[in-house]
Amino acid sequence: MLNFGLTEMRLVAPRDGWPNPDAGPAASGADAVLEGAKVFENVAEAVADCSLVFASTVRRRDLVIPVVGPHEMAGEIRSTSGRSAILFGPERSGLETEDVALANRVVTVPINPEFGSLNLAQAVILLAYEWSRGGELVQPTVKEMEPPAPMGDLEGLLGQLEDDLGQAGYFHPPERTAATKATIRTILTKPQWSTREIKAIRGIIRALVSPRGSRG
């Protein structure tokens, strides 16, 4: 990370706790990154202040999320006005489906189709390298009028909608609930709405659920 100027590390529920005495020697002198690391209980909290989230993983056929390469990722990070995050999963298992579903994009390093064996450290250094280059050949195409809302705003919308849909008996049959919630999350993550737009959507949902005149 520090080789390419990335300093802000966030850890989600680290298996061996934090601080971890094994981390120092492995960091080869990048102690400042370790000292500044923040720990979160789950991925949603870790990215709550970020408006553009990339999940570093192989192509996922089970999720409808745009897939970009490292270079494209760097260009997008450079041209967005909000904060960005790159998610990495544990060495062996990688990211869980529900963590990937929190992301706006999947970022995949194009590798040899006959032999693909990138480990976590290799994925990190390649994406950090591309980030540092800033996608210098990528021209931002559209100047966004409003920056995408931080992910915490989206969580608020999703929470409200899931509550209301639960009340309305929408999650039926019960065994499909998790999959249905994942679908809704994907559909509402895609727009990259601004904070103002999310507020408007939340007002619309309130109006549908409690029509004017019907409220207590």
Binding region for a second copy (CB under 8 A) = 2-5, 28-30, 59, 64-69, 71-72, 109-113, 115-119, 122, 125-126, 129, 132-133, 137-139, 141-146, 161, 164-165, 167-170, 172, 183-184, 187, 190-194, 197, 200-201, 204-205, 207-213
With beta carbons less than 8 A apart as the criterion, state whether 13 and 41 touch: yes
CA angle at residue 50 from 48 to 55, to 5 degrees?
Answer: 95
Phi-psi region of 182 (alpha: psi -120 to 50; beta: other; left: phi over 0): alpha
User: If 0-12 CB within 10 Å is exposed, 13-18 middle and 19+ buried, where does residue 23 land?
Assistant: middle
Provide, rounded to whole angstroms, the least separation between the CB of residue 139 and a second copy.
5
Closer of 46 and 89 to a second copy (Cβ): 89
Structure tokens at 146: 């409003």
How far, in Å, CA of 123 to CA of 206, rounded?
Answer: 43
* Residues in contact with 216: Cβ distance below 8 Å, sequence separation at least 6, in sequence order: none
Closer of 20 and 180 to a second copy (Cβ): 180
Provide, rounded to whole angstroms, the least separation between the CB of residue 170 and a second copy.
4
Provide, rounded to whole angstroms, the least separation between the CB of residue 10 and a second copy.
20
Closer of 10 and 199 to a second copy (Cβ): 199
Provide, rounded to whole angstroms, the least separation between the CB of residue 148 and a second copy.
11
